[in-house]
């Protein structure tokens, strides 16, 4: 094929991709600006306690993010689960809390959310030198690096019943997706201000080590001990506490709260203090 024809095809392909990309961006802008359907808003009222405490402009923005999320992501039921509208909106509402500070309007790098009816079993492989160790693990959620999110609906329902206890599988797994923005899944997402990195490492590194000591000794902590597994899990667990029990996190670990407040560009304590009630107290 003559080189000029190849170049022409490349140019046409690039132009078509650019046009499609622009159309998608415009579609997302339209969805973000639209009001959340009444039936979806009712689901958030039931299943997202902090939604009721938010000021109207935050509820409006969260609704727009949910609109974009529901069009952008594909839900797949596994092990016989029929995914309902309530499930989709509940997952979307919790996940989009992480985007509400305006850093961006969607989660990139993956398309699919796999939903199981209950906790699921996964095979894990680790190594001790040259010895391969295979174990089976029961999970309520997973975030596959550069791949889908996996969630168990029964565990999400349990989180709804015990809202405010610092545990939320949707927040946890989608925090991992934010962590993936950097090359490594290491508990260090892309921060909005380059000057924050040194303080982030100091504060989160210190609190991670403290949580490891508490996990070893059985001493209670405001954070889920699972966060002691790795820096990535610590960031996810800290994110759960930040949104689920912000008052407690601010009072007991104020520097950690402030780092997350700067990162997410949100202050959920203020929502509760100005709303009907206050979380985590």
* Crossing angle for the helix pair 85-96 and 169-179, to the nearest 10 degrees: 50
Along the 281 residues of the chain, how does pLDDT read in single tens digits? 667 765 555 555 555 545 545 666 677 778 888 999 999 999 999 999 899 899 999 999 999 999 999 999 999 999 999 999 999 999 999 999 999 997 677 898 899 999 999 875 565 554 455 555 545 455 677 888 878 999 999 999 999 988 888 899 999 999 999 999 887 889 999 998 899 999 999 999 999 999 999 999 999 999 999 999 999 999 999 999 999 999 999 999 999 999 999 999 999 999 988 754 433 44
Its pTM stands at 0.84
Answer positive or negative: Cα dihedral of 249, 252, 254, 255. negative
Q: Exposed, middle or buried, 223 (CB in 10 Å: 0-12/13-18/19+)?
A: buried
Q: What are phi and psi for residue 195, nearest 5 degrees?
A: -70, -10
């Amino acid at each position: 094929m003559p080189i000029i024809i190849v170049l022409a095809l490349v140019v046409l392909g690039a132009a078509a991709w650019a046009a499609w990309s622009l159309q998608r961006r415009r579609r997302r802008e339209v969805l973000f600006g639209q009001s959340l359907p009444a039936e979806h808003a009712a689901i958030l009222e039931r299943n997202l306690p902090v939604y009721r405490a938010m000021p109207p402009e935050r509820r409006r923005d969260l609704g727009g993010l949910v609109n974009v999320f529901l069009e952008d992501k594909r839900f797949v039921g596994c092990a016989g689960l029929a995914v309902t509208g309530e499930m989709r909106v509940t997952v979307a509402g919790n996940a989009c809390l992480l985007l509400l500070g305006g850093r961006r309007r969607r989660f990139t790098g993956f398309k699919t959310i796999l939903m199981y009816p209950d906790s699921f079993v996964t095979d894990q492989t680790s190594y001790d030198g040259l010895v391969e160790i295979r174990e089976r693990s029961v999970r309520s959620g997973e975030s596959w690096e550069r791949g889908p999110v996996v969630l168990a609906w029964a565990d999400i329902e349990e989180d709804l019943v015990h809202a405010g206890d610092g545990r939320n599988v949707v927040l946890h797994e989608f925090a991992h997706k934010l962590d993936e923005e950097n090359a490594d899944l290491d508990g260090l997402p892309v921060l909005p201000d380059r000057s924050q990195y040194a303080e982030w490492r100091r504060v989160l590194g210190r609190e991670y080590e403290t949580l490891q000591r508490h996990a070893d000794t059985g001493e209670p902590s405001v954070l889920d001990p699972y966060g002691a597994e790795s820096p990535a899990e610590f960031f996810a667990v800290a994110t759960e506490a930040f949104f689920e029990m912000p008052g407690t996190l601010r009072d007991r670990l104020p520097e950690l709260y402030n780092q997350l407040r700067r990162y997410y560009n949100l202050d959920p304590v203020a929502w509760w203090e100005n709303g009907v009630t206050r979380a985590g107290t």
